[in-house]
C-alpha cells in the first residue's frame, strides 16, 4: 500500500452501486470502500446520508483533500444534475463542466456526462470517466481507438487525437433482461434451469450477423421457433437470445466500417461480460482485442489533474488489469 498522504477521494456512484477510492500520489489506490447504494437503491433516497456514511471518516481525517464523483449521481434522478458537455470532449473540457456544491460534509464536485448532438442525440454519464481512465492507463489509445463498454446500455466510443470524438448507445443488456423476465422467449429457460452454452450463444451471434432483410423482431422470434422445432434446448434458449442481441449490436456497429478497417478495439468493464463480447467479435474477424478492467479510479484522477485539483499528471500507480 502507498503510505503517502492521500490526494483525492474519488467516487464511482452509479445506478446500482457506490464505490469510493482514497487516492494518493499518482492516483495510487490506498483504500477502497463500497456500498450497494446506487442512486436507485440509496436508503430513503438520502444521498447526503449515504455520502457521509461512505466518506465521513476520510473527510474527518483529511478535510483538505478534494472529493470528485462520477456516474448517475450527477443525473436528473441523482443528487444534483450536472449539465452535459458536448462531444468532442477531452479531459480539460470535461473538467471544465464539473458541478460543485456543499454537502454538509464538505464540498463535492460532480463530473458531467457527455452529449452527442444531432437529430437523434445520445448521452452517457459515468462511462466518460472510465474512458478517460483507459486513455490515462494506455496513452497510445488516445490517438485513435474504438472503446466498447458492455452493460445494460452498452456504449461504443471513438477516440481520436486525445478526445472522445463520438459515441453510440445500444440497450442490449436491458432488452435481454426484459425479454428474459417478461416475454414468451424467456419462458422455456425460466421453466428449467438455464445452462451455459457457448455453442448456442455463438449460434445466435452468427444468425444475427448473417441475417438478410429480416427485422430484429423476426430474428428474435427464432429463439422460440428453434425451441419448438427441437433445434434448441430449453436450457440454452437464453444463451441463444443473448447471442442474437449482442450479434445485432455488432452488426449495427460493423456497418459503419464497410471496409473492415478498425482502429484498435478495447473492451472496458467486468471480465465475464467482456469475454462474451470478445467471443462475439471473433465471429466478425476482430481477433486482437484488449480488455481493461477497473478504469474509473484512473479516470477520476485524470479529471482531477485537468481541473487543477491535484498536480501530478502520471498514472503509474493506478491499479487496473489488462489482457488480450
149 has a pLDDT exceeding 70 = yes
pLDDT band at 316 (very low <50, low <70, confident <90, very high): very low
Q: Which residue has the cell 436491458?
A: 174
Per-residue pLDDT reduced to its tens digit, 73-132 = 999 999 999 999 999 999 999 999 999 999 999 999 999 999 999 999 999 999 999 999
In a domain, 237, yes or no: yes
- Looking at 125, 144, 162, which one is the last position of a domain? 125
Instruction: Give SS3 for 292.
Output: strand
List, in sequence order, every residue forming a beta bridge with 144; answer none if it has no partner.
Answer: 160
Q: Which domain holds residue 26?
A: 8-125
pLDDT at res. 65? 97
Cis check for the bond before 88: say yes or no (omega within 30 of 0).
Answer: yes
- Looking at 75, 102, 125, which one is the last position of a domain? 125
Same domain, 151 and 67: no
Same domain, 75 and 141: no
320 has a pLDDT exceeding 80 = no
Q: Render the burial of 162-175: b for 16+ CB within 10 Å, e for the rest.
A: ebbbbbbebebbeb
List, in sequence order, every residue forming a beta bridge with 22; answer none if it has no partner.
Answer: 9, 31
In a domain, 301, yes or no: no
Q: What is the CATH number of the domain that holds 170?
A: 3.30.420.310
In a domain, 267, yes or no: yes
pLDDT at res. 129? 98
Q: What is the CATH number of the domain that holds 118?
A: 3.30.420.300
319 has a pLDDT exceeding 60 = no
DSSP string of 232-258?
A: S-GGGHHHHHHHHHHHHHHHHHHTT-T
Per-residue pLDDT reduced to its tens digit, 187-246 = 999 888 888 999 999 999 999 998 677 788 899 999 999 999 999 999 999 999 999 999
pTM of the complete model: 0.92
Distance between CA 140 and CA 324 in Å, rounded? 16
Q: Chain centroid to CA 245: how far?
A: 18
In a domain, 43, yes or no: yes
Question: From residue 186, how far is each of 180, 193, 288 by CA, in Å?
Answer: 4, 12, 33
In a domain, 2, yes or no: no
Report the mean per-residue pLDDT for the chain.
Answer: 93
Amino acid at each position: 500500500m502507498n503510505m503517502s498522504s492521500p490526494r483525492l477521494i474519488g467516487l464511482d456512484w452509479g445506478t446500482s452501486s457506490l464505490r469510493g477510492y482514497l487516492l494518493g500520489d499518482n492516483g495510487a489506490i490506498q483504500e477502497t470502500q463500497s456500498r450497494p447504494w446506487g442512486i436507485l437503491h440509496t436508503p430513503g433516497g438520502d444521498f447526503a446520508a449515504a455520502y457521509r456514511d461512505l466518506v465521513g471518516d476520510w473527510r474527518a481525517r483529511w478535510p483538505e483533500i478534494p472529493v470528485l464523483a462520477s456516474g448517475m449521481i450527477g443525473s436528473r434522478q441523482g443528487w444534483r444534475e450536472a449539465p452535459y458537455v458536448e462531444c468532442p470532449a477531452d479531459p480539460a473540457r470535461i473538467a471544465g463542466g464539473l458541478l460543485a456544491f456543499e454537502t454538509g460534509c464538505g464540498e463535492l464536485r460532480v463530473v458531467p456526462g457527455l452529449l452527442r448532438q444531432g437529430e437523434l442525440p445520445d448521452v452517457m454519464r459515468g462511462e466518460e470517466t472510465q474512458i478517460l481512465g483507459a486513455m490515462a492507463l494506455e496513452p497510445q489509445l488516445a490517438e485513435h481507438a474504438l472503446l466498447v463498454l458492455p452493460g445494460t446500455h452498452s456504449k461504443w466510443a471513438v477516440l481520436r487525437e486525445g478526445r472522445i470524438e463520438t459515441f453510440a448507445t445500444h440497450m442490449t443488456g436491458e432488452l435481454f433482461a426484459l425479454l428474459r423476465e417478461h416475454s414468451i422467449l424467456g419462458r422455456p429457460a425460466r421453466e428449467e434451469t438455464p445452462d451455459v452454452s457457448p455453442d448456442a450463444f455463438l449460434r445466435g451471434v452468427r444468425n444475427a450477423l448473417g441475417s438478410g432483410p429480416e427485422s430484429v423482431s423476426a430474428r428474435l422470434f427464432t429463439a422460440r421457433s428453434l425451441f419448438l422445432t427441437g433445434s434448441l434446448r430449453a436450457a440454452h434458449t437464453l444463451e441463444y437470445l443473448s447471442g442474437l442481441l449482442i450479434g445485432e449490436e455488432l452488426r449495427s456497429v460493423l456497418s459503419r466500417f464497410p471496409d473492415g478497417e478498425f482502429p484498435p478495439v478495447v473492451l472496458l468493464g467486468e471480465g465475464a461480460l467482456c469475454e462474451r463480447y470478445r467471443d462475439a467479435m471473433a465471429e466478425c474477424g476482430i481477433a486482437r482485442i484488449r480488455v481493461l478492467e477497473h478504469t474509473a479510479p484512473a479516470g477520476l484522477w485524470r479529471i482531477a489533474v485537468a481541473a487543477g485539483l491535484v498536480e501530478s499528471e502520471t498514472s503509474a500507480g493506478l491499479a487496473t488489469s489488462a489482457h488480450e
